[in-house]
Chain A
Amino acid sequence: MSHREPVELKPGFPAGCGYLSPGDLEAAIAGRLPAARAQEFEQHLDGGCGECATLAADLEAFAAVVSGGVLETERREADRQAELLGARLRRAARGRQTTWGRRWPSAAAAVLVVGVAAWLGLRDGGPADGLDIVLPGGGSYVAAVKSFSAPPVLRGERNLEELWRSAGSAYERGRYERAQKLLAEILEQQPDSFDARVYRGVCLLALERVGEARAVLAEARTQAAEQELSTTSLAWFEGLAALADGDVRAASAALDEAAAGTGADAERARELIGRLPD
């Protein structure tokens, strides 16, 4: 079976409010946060940071469950849902056959196709084999499109599966407006879906709604930070979106990040960086 490329975790990666590192969280949950660090955090909280106040409250509650144990009523309630969820997880473990490595080139292809579609004056995106992102200082970035498939159906829940299927179908046919709306629906039900968020950003980019695309990708960026997700592909799309927006500095930074990763999008980023004017 295929595997993802290793993900580089950044030491001291921020979580939640960004003040506590995963190491701090680890220590706090285990009740071993050094006193000096705890005091620093208290002082930070005194400054009125609302995000950190909720993190602190969540952290305290989680640590209390870990150290103090689960109440009998909580255990009974958890047991009632366990069978149902266990079955759902079994399905999910069996059904999860796609990997990011296979999905992202499709998403990349969507953006590339749109460039050509716009160039040809077609909105629905027909067969295409190039891209027309205009580079600062003249010239354009052109790349071949090898494949163009939709995001896979990921979830086990029926309604969400339907939404994913419809979104994938719309995406595959180049109907990015419909796809982005369906992805927005998925996000309403699953605000944590990083996949849906990034694909939606890609669709918006495809629709040349660059500002919205950048905003959605920025949300995905926050989510990636909080959940320690790989950012190579995300950075690649952020780079493209920034470039489309004429924000060369941001594009360059994002593409540098993507290029430092591994996989096809890192390759693409390295290639595109090489074409950027000095």
Chain B
Amino acid sequence: MAASPERPLASLSDEELVRRYQEGAGREGALLELYERHRTVTYAFFRRRIGIPEIAAEENQELYVTVVAHLEEFRGGSSFRTWLFQIAHHRLSHLRRRWRVHVDERCADVPEDLWDQLAAPVAGNPDRRLDQDQAARALRRCIAALPEIERLVIYGQYYVGTTLQELTEELKLTNKSGARALLIAAQRRLRSCLAQAGIADVEDSPKAPS
């Protein structure tokens, strides 16, 4: 059933707004109402997952451009919010491929020095009854959960062999410690994540290479 044109936009559900957009009645208003409802949630999502406000803002913009491009095709197989999530996840997947930090491409091996720093001591401890595979799987999941910018530094440092100086320049970081700060933050997050997974003790003693 079509939404009544008299009802204020704020009282309509997401799905009613989508229908209004698709029916061509007040589509600009319907679109902006949807945007107003969800823009901060999607921005915060990108902000947390990427770690850089400027890129999060760009991705959030492109998310809504994609929404405009495909809203006429949305038929409500899921809620509008879930549809937004799917598009946002898809955008992040592209970003990961562009940055070459896609977990799938890297998951076969955990680099030895990263392994040594974070998980090997515990995985090798028979008291923990853990094998190396379990620890490696947990580490991969923890890497997947890192904000993209931190993952980029981890991959650059441990998988590609890029120096912190090069990473700082490449990422145009202007803070005093450059990529080193990101590396330390990433290591801390990885240790914490591994501890939560029961793999390692929380050992907050970062060992970032100089």
Contact = CB atoms under 8 A, between A and B. Distances in A.
Chains A and B bind each other:
yes
Interface residues of A, number: 71
Interface string A86-103: 101110111010011000
Main secondary structure of the interface of A (DSSP, over half): helix
Interface string B35-54: 10001110111011100010
B90 A226 contact: yes
Given A1-B24, A78-B40, A50 B77 contact: no
Contacts of A100: 73
A74 B47 contact: yes
Interface stretch (A3-11, A118-126, A207-215, A263-271): A3-11
B30 to A, nearest CB: 9
B177 interface: no
A56 B145 CA distance: 8
Interface residues of B, number: 64
Contacts of B31: 89, 93
A228 B44 contact: no
Nearest to A75: B40
Contacts of A105: none
Contacts, number: 194
Interface of B: 21-22, 24, 27-28, 31-32, 35, 39-41, 43-45, 47-49, 53, 56-57, 60-62, 64-66, 68-70, 72-79, 81-83, 85-94, 96-98, 102-107, 137, 140-141, 144-145
A54 B96 contact: yes
Contacts of B62: 190, 192
A70 B46 CA distance: 12
Contact of B82 (A25, A56, A61, A77): A25
A111 to B, nearest CB: 22
20 contacts: A4-B73, A16-B90, A25-B78, A49-B104, A53-B141, A56-B144, A57-B144, A57-B145, A58-B49, A62-B88, A65-B44, A75-B44, A78-B43, A78-B44, A85-B61, A100-B73, A190-B65, A192-B91, A228-B73, A228-B78
A250 to B, nearest CB: 25
Interface in A1-48: 1, 3-4, 6-7, 9, 11, 13, 15-16, 22-23, 25-26, 29, 45-46, 48
Nearest to A53: B144
Contacts of A13: 77
Contacts of B61: 81, 84-85, 88
Nearest to A54: B144
Contacts of A60: 145
A229 interface: yes
Name, among A4, A75, A81, the residue most crowded by chain B CB atoms within 10 Å (CB to CB): A81
B65 A74 contact: no
Contacts of B106: 50
A228 B77 contact: yes
Nearest to B138: A46
A55 B89 contact: yes
A129 interface: no
Given A7-B73, A7-B75, A16-B89, A61 B68 contact: no
Nearest to A192: B66
B141 A77 contact: no
Given A65-B48, A223-B90, 4 more contacts: A50-B144, A58-B89, A79-B40, A194-B69
A154 interface: yes
Nearest to A63: B85
Nearest to A155: B65
B147 to A, nearest CB: 9
A22 B94 contact: no
Contacts of B35: 85-86, 89
Interface string A123-165: 0000000000000000000000000000000111000000000
Given A50-B107, A61-B48, A56 B43 contact: no
A9 B145 contact: no
Nearest to B141: A53
A260 interface: no
Contact of B98 (A86, A89, A191, A228): A191
A66 B88 CA distance: 14
A78 to B, nearest CB: 4
Contact of A58 (B66, B77, B88, B107): B88
A77 B61 CA distance: 13
B73 A78 contact: no
A193 B97 CA distance: 15
